[in-house]
Structure 1
């Protein structure tokens, strides 16, 4: 049931209707709260992504009641096919009680709109083409109590839309890596946390219906064997529609990161692919596009003075593998649960006590794991360690099964096998920061 007063336009305002914002809005609306979801673009819209979902993200879709069958337009995959050190290794997704044993592929233009419409069906009010221009704060407390926003100019019209103010007791920033709303209230990116960059494009490709996600672990900053091995990987994800999503991701932990031309690196990497795979200019579909990957809680605090951060706005990309969608959706669900409980209490200290549990809950869930991830990305920034890992790790299938569980964060939290228990223990003892 909505709890807004006459002073407010909604119970909660969610800024950004990507996976984090749409999932948050869906779960909030399901509790009966009046949710205003503001999106600066119009659906469908393109986002830079590998378009691949691990079982961790699939679990969230299932929990939201979304049909993940191939009949509903998804391409399911069995696991990872890894290339490196002169080897090719297929690693199925682990068989777990906590997560399904399959991943999915779907273009973000379709995926994001589906999630946003799902939130609408649950009762959220979605306003597209509405750019949030700044925060609205209470002058006496400094607390965020809304946002200002400007609708886009309608096609063919010379009229300049007027800025609108929307008010709510709580605002959720789901506006991605740049998170202008967070920056406008003083929450800036932490420079001591890793960042990644990803570039991708599409190719018409005979391997478009491959039911494995492919990961290539050797990216060189020059000719293979005559240069440094970079901390990152390339991917080929079949889309099932006649095209493959092809791209690469790099970490900023290597010494030459700032001088690396990722688009040129992508072209050089693809030039070494078999000719029959069709990764050539005349089969490319669309331009190469890039995006930043904010990792390991690189913007904090995740709650402060009426504002909660979810997904990329809070730097929740997995440092181990660059996955962001699963954590965007999980943090959205967690934020919605806590906000619903908070708004059931009177405004004041009782409500604040509930809201302050959100950062603690995030750290309890991801803090130790992200700390391990930061150690990992710092280590592989050394080309010698990266080379050692690819050359000597891949020949050991047991080690690689452990690695896929660690890198994809796929373990059973209670019980599980020996690998699960080791990984869970490592995450528990690692300090959350």
Structure 2
């Protein structure tokens, strides 16, 4: 570690330096830091909160996310608190269908559930074991730019244990910066990368409930969410929303219960989504025991940025990872797998770039990050954008539930599509079709 005196930022007495700064220690940032450290780079991982801390999420990890945990070397033994799932139970239109996760050469045949309260700290501490330097309570406020307008560091407020600023400010410098600072991504905005309005967005709300079914081996997805209309004032009745409700058993005596809704519906933003959730929970079977008495804490919500809604993913020294780059899956609202994948790709690109002999070569390699991410997810996300637009129409959603659910073979294919689980090379006809569609569809 090298420490130098700061002239540009007089509030701070010293500037701490590293090869790479990663801002945000969620799944994407922690994965990037772990892989970068494994490549032998000096990495600063800056987290504005102090662990453990919560994050609004469904807590469900599909086999795609499990693959990333395995690749990262994170222990996932059930004895350590990981709840293993066999597949997905789908309910809607009077139908109930259980589908096991597809197992193939690319993905394991099981999923996991772990609260973000636990998961994020596990991943951040794992990055530390790989050599990353984790600093908690560092709330990054702005980039430091060099004479070319490239980011070469960040300035931050130091937060106390109570989550309030201490009054101390610090500055950090590096050759490359990774923004893994979430949907609001202060760094992205400061570097002229606002959200794109031609990408779908979602909203998710969730709460935890005590339940005797906390160890159920299936995630549960309810495909009919109705928002209460007001005939007298707004001229409409109840509206079928584009999204789904979930019940994800955590295995610790509780279940994560929530819903996700896309903004492609005409009525998006006009309803109280917490009320939609309360009405839906009131229809749950009694054996789940969901009630005000078993609810743990309030219903909380968060935005779901999708389909690369911030671009470019690399420019002027800053790479975007996870939610900072809008990488939530538009088919199912999953973001953990995509965040970890982007962290892995970012680390590979950065490690390759920083050994190049000239600045021009380094910059050229860093620009390849955008191409790598679009090759991995771009075509799939374009398909997802069209899907999100379609199910924004209530009549399409209604027909999909009515005629899709009774066809088990079709639903198996849709599960593989929506969770993005095709075998990457070879596989059956469905794998080849999904991969071909993703390759042929232009990334944007």
Both structures adopt the same fold (TM-score exceeding 0.5): yes
Counting only pairs closer than 5 Å after superposition, residues 366-405 of structure 1 correspond to structure 2 as: 366-405=377-416
Structure 2 residue 52 is matched with structure 1 residue 44: yes
Deviation at 1:154? 5.8
Inter-CA distance 89–347: structure 2 relative to 1 (3 Å threshold): same
Deviations along 1:212-245, whole A, 9 cap, x unmatched? 000000001238x963211000000111111111
2: CA distance, partners of 1:260 / 1:226:
12
Q: Which residue of 2 aligns with 1:92?
A: 100
1: CA distance, partners of 2:347 / 2:4:
19
2: CA distance, partners of 1:74 / 1:255:
39
2: CA distance, partners of 1:28 / 1:269:
44
2: CA distance, partners of 1:269 / 1:154:
37
Deviations along 1:176-231, whole A, 9 cap, x unmatched? 000011101111000110000000001111111101000000001238x9632110
8 Å Cα contact 1:3-1:33 kept in structure 2: no
Q: Which residue of 2 aligns with 1:332?
A: 343
Root-mean-square deviation over aligned CA pairs = 2.0
2:158 counterpart (140, 151, 156) = 151
2: CA distance, partners of 1:330 / 1:153:
32
Q: Which residue of 2 aligns with 1:302?
A: 313
Deviations along 1:332-376, whole A, 9 cap, x unmatched? 000000000001113411101111100011111111100000000
Structure 2 residue 69 is matched with structure 1 residue 69: no
Q: Which residue of 2 aligns with 1:423?
A: 434
Deviation larger for 289-298 or 276-285: 276-285
8 Å Cα contact 2:2-2:17 kept in structure 1: no
2: CA distance, partners of 1:432 / 1:3:
41
1: CA distance, partners of 2:35 / 2:115:
23
Inter-CA distance 431–156: structure 2 relative to 1 (3 Å threshold): closer
2: CA distance, partners of 1:286 / 1:215:
22
2: CA distance, partners of 1:212 / 1:32:
40
Q: Which residue of 1 aligns with 2:61?
A: 53
Structure 2 residue 89 is matched with structure 1 residue 81: yes
1: CA distance, partners of 2:22 / 2:358:
19
8 Å Cα contact 2:158-2:166 kept in structure 1: no
Structure 2 residue 365 is matched with structure 1 residue 354: yes
Gaps of 5+ in 1: none
2: CA distance, partners of 1:151 / 1:5:
19
1:127 counterpart (116, 135, 146) = 135
Counting only pairs closer than 5 Å after superposition, residues 183-198 of structure 1 correspond to structure 2 as: 183-198=189-204
Q: Which residue of 1 aligns with 2:225?
A: 219
Deviation at 1:161? 3.2
2:207 counterpart (178, 183, 201) = 201
8 Å Cα contact 1:4-1:34 kept in structure 2: no
1: CA distance, partners of 2:260 / 2:163:
40
SS in 2 for 1:369: helix
Deviation at 1:155? 6.1
Whichever structure has more strand as a proportion of its residues is 2
2:116 counterpart (108, 114, 120) = 108
SS in 2 for 1:202: strand
1:181 counterpart (176, 179, 187) = 187
Deviations along 1:100-145, whole A, 9 cap, x unmatched? 000000111001000000001111000000100110001x211100
Counting only pairs closer than 5 Å after superposition, residues 222-241 of structure 1 correspond to structure 2 as: 222=228, 227-241=238-252
2: CA distance, partners of 1:154 / 1:228:
44
Q: Which residue of 1 aligns with 2:285?
A: 274
SS in 2 for 1:389: helix
8 Å Cα contact 2:158-2:169 kept in structure 1: yes
Q: Which residue of 2 aligns with 1:313?
A: 324
SS in 2 for 1:299: coil
2: CA distance, partners of 1:153 / 1:60:
33
Structure 2 residue 375 is matched with structure 1 residue 364: yes
State the TM-score, normalizing by the size of structure 2: 0.94
State the TM-score, normalizing by the size of structure 1: 0.96
Deviations along 1:278-297, whole A, 9 cap, x unmatched? 11101101111101000000
8 Å Cα contact 1:3-1:11 kept in structure 2: no
Deviations along 1:393-431, whole A, 9 cap, x unmatched? 000011001100100000012111111111111111111
Q: Which residue of 2 aligns with 1:407?
A: 418
Inter-CA distance 154–432: structure 2 relative to 1 (3 Å threshold): closer
SS in 2 for 1:161: strand
SS in 2 for 1:329: helix
1: CA distance, partners of 2:200 / 2:4:
42
Deviations along 1:61-88, whole A, 9 cap, x unmatched? 1111112121121110000000011000
2:295 counterpart (284, 288, 291) = 284
* Number of residue equivalences: 429
